[in-house]
Amino acid sequence: MKVLEKLSAFVSRWMALLVILAAAVSLFFPGAVRFISTKWINYLLGVVMFGMGLTLKPSDFTDVLRRPKDVVIGALCQFTLMPLIAFLLTKLFRLPPELAVGVILVGTCPGGTSSNVMTYLSHGDVALSVCMTSVSTVLAPFMTPLLTLLYAGKTVDVNVMGMFISVLQVVLLPILLGFVVNYFFGRFTQRAVKALPLVSTLAIILIIAAVVSVNSQKILSNGLLIIVVVICHNLLGYAAGYGVAKALRLDTTKCRAISIEVGMQNSGLATGLAHTHFSQYPLAMIPGAVFSVWHNISGALLANFFNDMSEREKSPNLREAQKESLA
C-alpha cells in the first residue's frame, strides 16, 4: 500500500507534465495509443466520479447549510459565467458548429475535481471549494443539458433528456455509490483514497489519449484556434470568478476558491457528452480534451501565483509582529 501511496503522490505532483506528455504522444504518434477506445470514456469518467464520492462525507453537505450565501454565489458564478463566456467566444472567433458545441459543453459542465487541490495549494477556502464542486455536480444533470440547449440549441440539435440521463449515469450515480461506500466502510476507504490521484490521473490520461489520437489530423489542422479559444475560456473564467467574488466583498480566500472553481471545469464530462450526444461532430470532443490538458497547467500556475501573494502578505505582518516583540 505504501508503494501505491508514493506512486500516487508522485503522479499527483507531476500530473500536468504527465497529461502534456500523453497528449503529445497521442497527437504525434496516434498509432501508439490507438488501442485506447473512445468507447471507454464514460466508464473512465464513472471511475473518476466514484473516486470523488469516496472522498465525500455528510459534513461536506451540511457545510452548504452553514454557509448558504457563499455556496449560492459560487454556484451562480459556475453556471452563469463559464457558459456565457463560452458562447461569446464561439461568436467572437466565429467557430463552426462542431467546435462551438464542444466549447459550450465545457462551459456548461460543473467544476472539476482537481480544483479542490489547486484551492488548497492557493491558500484558498478549501471547504467552500469542496461545497461548490459538490453542489455544481449535483445540479449538473439539470443545468448542463438546459444551458447547452440555451446556448447551442439554435445551432445543433440538443437532446436534453438524453443528456440528463447521461449525466445521471456518468456523474451522479457513481458519486452517490462512492459516498455510500465511504459512509459504511470509512475505515477501508480512508486508506484507499490515498491512491485516488493515481487512478484519477490514469483515467484522465486515457480519455485524452483516446480523443486526441482519433482526431490527431483534425487537431493539427485546427489546433491553434482551439488552443487559443480554450486558453481564453479558462483564463477569463478565473478572472470573472475572482472579480465577481471581490465585487460582492468576499474575503480573499473565498475569492481564490471561487476563481479556481469557476475556471476549472469537468472537461472530461464535456468530452464524454460530446462523444455520446454529438458523435456526428467529431471535433466537438476536442475542446474538452484540450481543456483537460490546459487547465491542469494554468491551475498549477495560478496556485503558485496566489501562494506567492499569500507569502508577500504574511511578510509585512511578520515583520510588524517581530518589531512589537522587540519593543
**CB-CB contact of 234 with 89 (8 Å):** no
Domains in the chain: ranges and CATH? 2-300 (1.20.1530.20)
How much is the pLDDT for 320? 55
Dihedral pair phi/psi, residue 125, rounded to 5°: -80, 95
Q: At what angle do helices 252-263 and 126-152 cross, to 10 degrees?
A: 40
- Stated pTM of the model: 0.85
Integer CA distances (angstroms), 265 to 148, 225, 259, 314, in order:
15, 20, 11, 31
Provide the 3-class DSSP secondary structure of residue 77: helix
Q: Answer yes or no: are the C-beta atoms of 194 and 4 closer than 8 Å.
A: yes
Q: What is the pLDDT along the chain (327 residues), one digit of tens a residue?
A: 577 777 777 776 777 788 888 888 998 999 888 888 888 888 888 888 888 788 777 877 777 778 788 889 999 999 999 999 999 999 999 999 999 999 999 999 998 777 887 887 788 888 888 888 888 988 999 999 999 999 999 889 999 999 999 999 888 898 889 889 888 887 788 777 777 777 877 888 888 888 888 888 888 887 789 999 999 999 999 999 999 999 999 999 999 999 999 999 988 899 899 989 998 988 898 999 889 888 888 888 888 888 888 777 766 554 555 555 545
The dihedral formed by the CA atoms of 12, 16, 22 and 27, expressed in degrees to the nearest 10? 170
Dihedral sign from CA coordinates of 48, 50, 54, 56: positive
Q: What is the pLDDT of residue 193?
A: 75
Helices (H), the chain: 2-13, 15-28, 41-54, 58-66, 68-92, 97-108, 114-121, 126-152, 160-167, 173-184, 186-192, 196-214, 216-247, 252-263, 267-277, 286-326
